Amino acid sequence: MGFMSYKDEDRSLGDSGLRVSPVAMGCWPIAGMTSLDVNDADSLATLQAALDHGVNFFDTAYCYGREGESERLIGRGLGHRRDEIVIATKGGLHYDPQGKRLLDARPERLRRECEESLRRLGTDRVDLLYLHAPDPATPLAESAGALRDLMAAGKTRCVGVSNVTLEQLETFHAVCPLAAFQPPYNMLQRQIERDTLPWCRRHGVAVVVYWPLLKGLLAGRLPRNYAFPRGDGRAKYVMFQGDQWQKNQDFVDCLREIAQDLGRTVAQVAINWTIHREGITAALCGAKRPYQIVETAGGMGWRLDDGPLQRIDAALAARGEAAVQPAV
């Protein structure tokens, strides 16, 4: 295993001039909308632990939390260290009072959400503002134009987009220069390697991936007979059901052996593999407890050698491609 310091691993976020750690903290779990047993004390301790363990990149969104709890917690917990961190948030997706998810990326809505996000985060400017997902009722170029204007107004240092196709990436980038793209990606869900990832590499756009742990599956702590408790939002995903679940568990068993031989955890192997794939800038590791981000932060600072990589390839070949069900 090759070792390096965290700092050696910092990467450029497109051409924004920002440097980010390859392990980033995904701040969806601390919003408490689908994760269970979330509380402010643990969430604040998790944010702090992230920063203390070399993570400087925090990913949130306007819609993370009924009242923007995720953004508020970042402002509260890390506001005093604002100049040490890179904050990314997203707009264009919100929940109505009944909890129904709505896409609304009209320019006026994006502007309003951005102001609200800045207030909650307690900052004048975020580092990265994404369009969370395209809104079918608003031309993508209009949403892109609104984000370009927000960048020009100094509300964000750079702009990104999430949950889009290759064609939509091109449309967006033609109106507003992109610093980052945020798709789902992990060992078992690698569809972006076919088109959007090569496009981003060609255009110098950072690729910041969500679900690197496949919502906890690749952390290796969900037993084969696990039954999701009521209220755990993961039960609805196909990767946690029937045949897919069994095949995924077989794969995790292989990872367990590899991790054990390396003296690492399954999560660390999964994250290390992900952040060293060509063209991947950072992996958004969701966490709601300090031990989780401390563990995933330990996925950086070293590098899998050829031997374990070959064993992983063999396990992946045996698993075959997994079904992909994007979040949006």
Contacting residues toward ligand NAP, per CB under 6 A: 26-29, 35, 59, 162-163, 182, 210-216, 219, 221, 267, 284-288, 292, 295-296, 327-328
Q: How far is the CB of 9 from ligand NAP (least distance, A)?
A: 19
Question: Over 105-123, what HEC string results?
Answer: CCHHHHHHHHHHHHHHHCC
In order of 73, 102, 202, the CA distances from 111 in angstroms are 22, 16, 30
Q: How far is the CB of 69 from ligand NAP (least distance, A)?
A: 13
Q: Which is nearer to ligand NAP, 272 or 296 (CB)?
A: 296
Q: Using CA of residue 23, residue 26, residue 27, residue 30, what is the dihedral sign?
A: negative
Q: How far is the CB of 306 from ligand NAP (least distance, A)?
A: 26
143: number of Cβ within 10 Å = 28
Q: Can you give the C-alpha Rg of the chain in angstroms?
A: 19
Q: How far is the CB of 215 from ligand NAP (least distance, A)?
A: 4
The answer to whether residue 130 is catalytic is no
* CB contact at 8 A, 297 and 23: yes
Give the distance between the most distant pair of CA atoms in the chain: 54
Find the Cα–Cα–Cα–Cα dihedral 128, 327, 9, 200, rounded to 10°.
-70
Q: Which is nearer to ligand NAP, 146 or 284 (CB)?
A: 284
Q: Which is nearer to ligand NAP, 140 or 214 (CB)?
A: 214
Q: At what angle are helices 140-152 and 166-175 packed, to 10 degrees? A: 40
Q: Give φ, ψ of 282 to 5 degrees.
A: -155, 155
Q: Which is nearer to ligand NAP, 291 or 305 (CB)?
A: 291
Q: Using CA of residue 30, residue 280, residue 162, residue 110, what is the dihedral sign?
A: positive
Q: Which is nearer to ligand NAP, 91 or 308 (CB)?
A: 91
For the chain, percent helix, then strand, then coil, each to nearest 5?
Answer: 45, 15, 35
Residues 6 or more apart in contact with residue 243 via CB below 8 angstroms? none
Q: Which is nearer to ligand NAP, 52 or 153 (CB)?
A: 52
Q: How far is the CB of 27 from ligand NAP (least distance, A)?
A: 5
* CB contact at 8 A, 65 and 99: no
Which of 64, 130, 210, 237 is the catalytic position? Answer: 64
14's tokens? 């497109």
Residue, CB closest to ligand NAP: 286
Q: How far is the CB of 195 from ligand NAP (least distance, A)?
A: 18
* Residues belonging to the active site: 64
